[in-house]
Amino acid sequence: MIIPKRDAKEYGAVHIDNYLTFTGFCKKVSSDEICKVDVYIDAKKIDTIEANQAIENIENIYDIHGHGFVFELDEKYFNKSHLLEFKATENNEELVNSGIQTIDKNHKKFNEYRLLHSLNNIDEEKIKDMYCKDAIGFLATEENLNNKDFIKYINELYIMFPSVTFKAFYFNDNQKALTKNIFINTIDRFELIIPTSLYDISSNVEIYLFNAVNRDNFKFVYINLTYLCKDILTVRFLENNNNLSINNQTQYPHPRLSAKLKSCGFRSESNNVYKVIFDEQIAKLNLNSLNEDDNYAKFDHFNKIEYALQSNDFTNNYFKANRLNREILLEDPI
């Protein structure tokens, strides 16, 4: 929370989201009138924006409602570092945390920030049909590459699915070299790609692997692919679920999901949401019916990928089920 200066008429603050996107707030003292904020690059005013948005993290930090703003740095300023300042339009008061040195294209995290920045402007129609047949992708960050269980999992998939190409999405030269070193004996089936936007990932995978211990920022890559791309199966790698059965997992989806799925054309009569989603498609593939006592990790990490690679309908059904579950949660959170 910020306490305004004694004689202040307006006050506010700005935060760095990813050095390419910035969020903040500006508010009049004792008034809910909408404020404006002037944005300066190297002491030159380049924009005036309204502080009229509801931004959850800003509201939680400063105990305000509304009065938020988002500023996205234009690509023409990526060439070098600049001094970025935010000032209240009415009184030219600089916001708290203002005076930010931006990064340039040579910064070691620039590519990472650029991908995260792209998540702010996704064309849902454009991305909906994007995918690449027989391709499994993952983020080749140091965090993932140093996780022995995650690397073991990728190597197991490499053996299990010999016709699949692996896409390693990296952000800097160190990650590229580390990927080549770790997969030195199997690199012939790997493509190494710097993703400049979410489209670079969605257009290159049919299966996207997400390590659940990843930093929070990257979870939004997984979330967007899950809910926006109907032909991509997202698989969340969980290290500690080896003792769980499929039946144990029914507690996680919304309790109304099974009934909602049936009303939308899923024909299974089971009360287990996973059987409702998958049984019909598994039968079409002439594979064994889903056993609720089967190990969930094996099913989630391997069987789902096998089914998805064999049938696009399987992935489409999983996509529809995920969308329905999200709609229900928005209407009626657990």
pLDDT of 190-240, one tens digit each? 999 999 999 999 999 999 999 977 667 799 999 999 999 999 999 999 876
* The pLDDT value given to residue 167: 98
The dihedrals phi and psi of 69, each to the nearest 5 degrees, come to: -145, 155
pLDDT category of residue 242 using cuts at 50, 70 and 90: low
Percent of the chain with pLDDT over 90: 63
Q: Give the range with max mean pLDDT: 7-11, 35-39, 248-252, 261-265.
A: 35-39
Whether residue 296 is predicted with pLDDT greater than 90 in this model: the reply is: no
Alpha carbon of 306 to those of 46, 160, 163: distances in Å?
A: 52, 9, 12
Tell me, what's the pLDDT at 4?
57
Pick from 129-133, 192-196, 278-282: least confident: 278-282
For residue 59, what pLDDT is reported?
92
CATH architecture assigned to 124-237: 3-Layer(aba) Sandwich (3.40)
H helix or E strand, kind and range, residue 138: strand 135-139
Q: Among 23-37, 235-249, 253-267, whose mean pLDDT is lowest?
A: 235-249
Tell me the domain boundaries of the chain: 10-107, 124-237, 247-331
Sign of CA dihedral 47, 50, 51, 54: negative
Number of H helices, E strands in the chain: 13, 12
Position 278 confidence tier, pLDDT thresholds 50, 70, 90? confident
Cα–Cα distance, 96 to 12 (Å, whole number):
6
Q: How, if at all, do strands 83-88 and 100-101 pair?
A: antiparallel
Q: Are strands 135-139 and 207-211 parallel, antiparallel or unpaired?
A: parallel
Cα(111)–Cα(88) distance, integer angstroms? 31
Lowest model confidence (mean pLDDT) among 116-125, 215-224, 246-255: 246-255
* Strands in 155-223 per DSSP E: 165-169, 190-193, 207-211
**Average pLDDT of 163-176?**
97
pLDDT at 134: 98
Closest CA to 251 of 314, 205, 202, 296: 296
Give yes or no for residue 251 having a pLDDT over 60: no
CA distance 279 to 167: 30
Residue 245 has pLDDT above 90, yes or no: no
Bigger pLDDT: 246 or 302? 302
* Better-scored residue on pLDDT, 273 or 69: 69
The model's pTM is 0.86
Query: Which amino acid, 23?
Result: T
pLDDT score recorded for residue 280? 81
Res 182 pLDDT > 80: yes
Q: What is the mean pLDDT of residues 299-314?
A: 91
Residue scoring higher pLDDT (244 or 327): 327
The mean pLDDT value for 69-84 works out to 94
Average pLDDT, the chain: 89
CB contact set of 28 (below 8 Å; sequence gap of 6+):
9, 10, 35
Which helix or strand (DSSP H or E) is residue 226 part of?
helix 216-228
> Which residue type occupies 139?
L
Mean pLDDT of 6-35: 89
Please provide the CATH number assigned to the domain covering 10-107. 2.60.40
Segments in 63-163 forming alpha helices (H): 110-118, 124-128, 142-145, 148-160
